[in-house]
With several copies, the nearest count.
Chain A
């Protein structure tokens, strides 16, 4: 099985990398950009159920205070 886990800062938690990217893009002349946010993706392959991936997120991949996670199945 193949899962995709997306980890991002929670709403209300500053995303400095997104902000810096926004600034840099505007400096490069992309004036239309209004907001940038970032996230991290983990693509996990192996024998694991959704519950296990949930547990991976809670145990390791995301910090429950500052980050949200989303799990998506990519392949059976």
Chain B
């Protein structure tokens, strides 16, 4: 298979708003990205079968009303359950960015890849605010998405509900379980790569255990609060004027990893 034959779905709904730049990041890498409204699938006009991978981009699906990502997630798990479970079970990669991460959590796809089984929450940021800022990320395990990502990378977050919450009372056991299966992929850290330890604003959302990104046990589903498509080129960085190297940014690696994984698994 050639890179140009890889077809990635960028799924949108009312209120999705990072679809264009996300699709464009994928297209820059030579794959085919198509932005399709979820209604097309619900009405049976299109099928998830057509795609090798899926990205749930950022935005405010359905206005983030009730809870961020909740409405789209429930719609997916109610109306597209089988199709979606098959997509997952066949190991086709799914990347959820920001609102997409929220959708993955609210649909049960994260952390265990089971549609309908909600095991986590992304709650209001500890600051009670929308937080638009660049963060440092520590890579804690390698998944298909993060193979090429440096140990410490930079990307921006922009969300109001990005605080990862574990079930009260079960925090430690679940954390151990996820760590053991290498599902904790990205953690907020300092510039030097030290864990943020909950400190604001290094951990801008107040996420439990500094979690910024989580994967399914197989590593084929990744949800992350930071926006790789906004760190795709160096000129997108807030301080690029301080050095002259203008090339690819850290976010590029996430999409590259996803495409390479597809190419490899499709033979």
The interface of chain A, by Cβ under 8 A from chain B, is 9-14, 16-17, 19-21, 24, 27-29, 59-61, 63-67
| Beta-carbon contact of B168 and A19 below 8 Å | no
Pair B71/A24 contact, Cβ less than 8 Å: yes
| A49-B266 Cα distance, complex, nearest whole Å | 49
| Contact A19-B123, Cβ < 8 Å, known A11-B168, A27-B75 | no
Closest A residue, CB atoms, query B171: A12
A17 touches B66 (CB 8 A): yes
Q: Is the CB of A16 within 8 A of B126?
A: yes
* Min C-beta distance of A72 to chain B, whole Å: 19
On B, residues with C-beta under 8 Å from A are 62-63, 65-67, 70-71, 74-75, 78-79, 106, 118-121, 123-128, 163, 165-169, 206
Please give, as numbers and ranges, the residues of chain B lying within 8 Å of A60 by CB-CB distance: 66, 70-71, 74
Write out the residue numbers on chain B whose beta carbons fall within 8 Å of the beta carbon of A19.
128
Is the pair A12, B168 in contact by a Cβ cutoff of 8 Å? yes
- In the assembly, what is the distance between CA of A9 and CA of B127, in Å? 15
Q: Are A20 and B120 in contact (CB under 8 A)?
A: no
In the bound complex, CA of A63 to CA of B117 (Å): 11
The interface centre, meaning the residue of A9, A16, A19, A29 with most chain B CB atoms within 10 A of its CB, is: A16
Closest to A27 in B: B75
Q: Is B165's CB under 8 angstroms from A27's CB? A: no
Residues of B within 8 A of A13 (CB): 121, 123, 165, 168
Residues of A with C-beta under 8 A to B127:
16, 20
A63 with B62: CB separation less than 8 A? no
CA distance A74 to B18 in the complex (A): 41
In the complex, the answer to whether B63 meets A16 with C-beta atoms within 8 Å is: yes
Q: Is A65's CB under 8 angstroms from B74's CB?
A: no
- Asked, given contacts A14-B126, A65-B166, whether A21 binds B66 with beta carbons under 8 Å apart, the answer is yes
B35 vs chain A, min Cβ distance (A): 21
When distances are taken between beta carbons in the complex, the residues of chain B under 8 Å from A67 are 121
**Residues of A close to B123: CB separation below 8 A:** 9, 13-14, 63, 66
16 more CB-based (< 8 A) A-B contacts, given A60-B66, A67-B121? A10-B168, A14-B163, A16-B63, A16-B124, A16-B126, A16-B206, A17-B65, A20-B62, A20-B65, A20-B66, A28-B78, A61-B66, A63-B70, A65-B121, A65-B166, A66-B123
In the complex, are the beta carbons of B165 and A65 less than 8 A apart?
yes
Please name all residues of chain A whose beta carbon is closer than 8 Å to the beta carbon of B163 when the two chains form the complex.
14, 16
- CA–CA, A9 and B126, complex, Å: 13
